[in-house]
Amino acid sequence: MHPRKKRQRKNASAMKLVGSLLACFREAAGLTQRELAGRICVGEDTIASIEQGRRPLKPDLAAILDRLLETKGALSTAVENLPEIDLIPAWAEDYMDYEREAIALSWFENQVLPGLLQTENYARAVFRSKVPVLSEDEINAQVDRRVGRQEILHRKVPPTTSFVISEAVVRDRLGGDEVYAETLRHLRACADLPGITLQVMPLGRETHAALAGPFILLETPDHQHIGYAETQRGSQLITDPDEVSILAQKYAMLRTQALNPEETKGLLDRLLGEL
């Protein structure tokens, strides 16, 4: 299974301009991408992604680079003056970059299956449920993109991935009975994939560690720990160590409250037997 080509972001031209400026200043300073990354304690892939316009340059990093490269605030000024539309989708797009490169993922969901576990038909049902409605072309593009992300689970060395999913999500018949049956079979197969741990949070619990909603934790190749959360009208990438620690504590508690992996497989087998 091969990675899908990344969707072109609306602010691609502006981001490429900022990235090209960084590359120009870096080369003028006589530094390689690896050398620059080492000096500011980020991964070489981060510098490469920014210079290629695939990842936005954040204001705090721009300020650090301006000081190091002695660019008199040029990068900070460029970032501050990006069009507003450029800033709206950046969190979600940035998360996709991190997800693609992650060495570990921990994912809690209580409304819908994690995107990495959705079948094509389930994903289509998700996007057809959107309000306002999407066109068929938009739905097809979104489904293709979502299914394409799943290639990370089938790599020779996949990320270590843990999912905790509400039982309500597993029992929901989004898309109808045929999609439900296909989804159950898919989840049962995913539960046996190398590197994946799947746990169901059972209904009827008296305590729950994540009543505030779903979230994702990931670890980057340079061992940075990052959180991500989505709301009805936006999303947030969480890098503050204290906030990430709170999410990690919540996730650790969720895993003790959920069915263990073998119990989860048993539940899926029972549900499949009821079809």
* pLDDT value of position 9: 47
pLDDT digits (tens, 9 = 90+) for 179-212: 999 999 999 999 999 999 999 999 999 999 999 9
* pLDDT value of position 115: 95
* pLDDT value of position 216: 97
**Do the beta carbons of residue 92 and residue 111 sit within 8 Å?**
no
Q: How far is CA 244 from the centre of its chain?
A: 15
The closest alpha carbon to 115, from 264, 267, 4, belongs to: 4
Instruction: Write down all domains in the chain, each with its CATH number in brackets.
Output: 12-87 (1.10.260.40), 90-273 (3.30.870)
* pLDDT value of position 90: 52
More confident residue, 49 or 234: 49
**Do the beta carbons of residue 65 and residue 74 sit within 8 Å?**
no
Q: Which amino acid is at 138?
A: E
pLDDT digits (tens, 9 = 90+) for 137-191: 888 988 998 999 999 999 999 999 999 999 999 999 999 999 999 999 999 999 9
User: What is the residue whose two structure tokens read 């949070």?
Assistant: 201
Q: Which residues have CB under 8 Å from 39's CB, separation 6+?
A: 31, 68
* pLDDT value of position 83: 60
User: What is the residue whose two structure tokens read 């299914």?
Assistant: 147
This prediction's pTM = 0.68
Confidence of residue 123 (pLDDT cuts 50, 70, 90): very high
Name the token pair of 58.
């954040």
201-218 as b/e: b if 16+ CB within 10 A: bbeeeeeebbeeebbbbb
Name the average pLDDT for the chain.
89
Q: Is the pLDDT of residue 57 over 90?
A: no
Confidence of residue 5 (pLDDT cuts 50, 70, 90): very low
Q: Is the pLDDT of residue 56 over 60?
A: yes
User: What is the residue whose two structure tokens read 């119990």?
Assistant: 263
Q: Provide, rounded to the nearest whole percent, the portion of the chain with pLDDT above 70.
A: 91
pLDDT digits (tens, 9 = 90+) for 220-249: 998 999 999 988 777 788 889 999 999 999
Q: Is the pLDDT of residue 84 over 70?
A: no
